[in-house]
Amino acid sequence: MLAKIVSVFLLLVSSAFAQNSKFDSRYQAAEKTFDAYNGKTGSQESGASTPTFSSPRTSSDNVQIPFSILVLPAQNAQNLSELEIVNKNPYSRTLMESLNTFFSKKNYELKLLDQQKELENFILTQNAISGKEEDLAYLASLYVGADIYVKFTGNLSSKKINVQLNAYESTTGQLIGSTSSEQIIPNAKENQKYIQIAATDAARQLDTKLQDYCQAQKKSTQYKVMMNLVGDFDEDFIEDIHEQITMDIPGLFQKVIFNVMTEKTVDMTVYANPAEYSDSQAIYNAIRAKLKSVVGVKKTNITKKLIFMDLK
């Protein structure tokens, strides 16, 4: 079942990315059309409560850090049949292409899902550690190393198109911002054009909120760290390792949140000053240096936002 779910996600996302190059001209036409309508069409609606970032807003063209983004349909493992419908729906594909092209032109790095088996294994491992079935988009964004993931929905009727976007921080799954755009469609033959306009409108609104997040990340960057105890340890030794982790690791960084801690696993979120720790490898090196006198530490997987390590 999991393999089928992941397969559908990969097929949908890879298909949309494959068509991005030939979509540029259509996007540019849609953007020009949107500019002509600017101030007369499109609306913004708030979704769930959105955290406020105090850093000043700026155009994404001026952001120096290459923030990465993953765009996915707003579905989960329980809605597989709906995912299959989206995959076959040309309007949903148009919507996704519009979003990917917009974010690419705004200098975000687009992320792509392309390793099905590895993603399956990661999802199974994460679900086992957390003890629950996590959101597939959240896990996928962690796996590919995206800073942000955007979930989209599009509702098309005979007279209008409504596009809704929700953006999340990949490490914690925290909502960054929600936007929507509704466009009246004067002629059914122009469905594609107005889907592009609605997607561009919603993405422009969302981009402003994403820049607040990107500016805040210059002061504190989040990483998800997952530790797996490998081997047979007695209870006292396990307690010693847990004590070492909880007492020594928080002092290395701005903040550490322990999400899950079991006998064999530790799941934490690290908030680090990017001026001190430039990337996930630097985070791993600092943790390893602190723990290696007590237990063997070996990295098993590192992406931009995720660090997997074995303690043995």
Strands 160-169 and 175-184: antiparallel
* CATH-assigned architecture of domain 221-311: 2-Layer Sandwich (3.30)
Nearest alpha carbon to residue 153 among 198, 209, 123 = 198
Residue 251 pLDDT: 96
Q: Map residue 283 onto helix, strand or coil.
A: helix
- Asked if 256 and 266 touch (Cβ cutoff 8 Å), the reply is no
Average pLDDT over residues 158-185: 93
Residue 121 pLDDT: 63
Average pLDDT over residues 301-312: 92
Residue 129 pLDDT: 57
Give how far Cα 26 sits from Cα of 94, 163, 194, 312, Å: 10, 18, 11, 54
130 pLDDT band (50/70/90 cuts)?
low
Q: pLDDT of 134-153, one tens digit each?
A: 677 788 888 888 999 999 98
Distance between CA atoms of 284 and 287, rounded to whole angstroms? 5
Instruction: Please provide the size of the chain in residues.
Output: 312
- Using the predicted structure, report yes or no on whether residue 157 has a pLDDT greater than 60: yes
Give the pTM: 0.70
Q: Break the chain into its structural domains and give their ranges.
A: 2-217, 221-311
Q: pLDDT of 95-129, one tens digit each?
A: 888 999 999 999 999 987 665 555 666 666 666 65
Q: At residue 70, what are phi and psi to the nearest 5 degrees?
A: -120, 125
With pLDDT > 90 as the criterion, what percentage of the chain qualifies? Answer: 44
- Alpha helices by DSSP H, listed for the chain, are 2-18, 20-37, 80-88, 90-105, 116-130, 136-144, 191-217, 235-248, 280-291
Which residue would you say has higher pLDDT here, 23 or 268?
A: 268
Residue 231 pLDDT: 86
Distance between CA atoms of 59 and 220, rounded to whole angstroms? 20
Average pLDDT over residues 166-180: 94
Residue 46 pLDDT: 35
Which residue would you say has higher pLDDT here, 156 or 103?
A: 103
Q: At residue 16, what are phi and psi to the nearest 5 degrees?
A: -65, -40
Residue 278 pLDDT: 92
Distance between CA atoms of 15 and 106, rounded to whole angstroms? 21
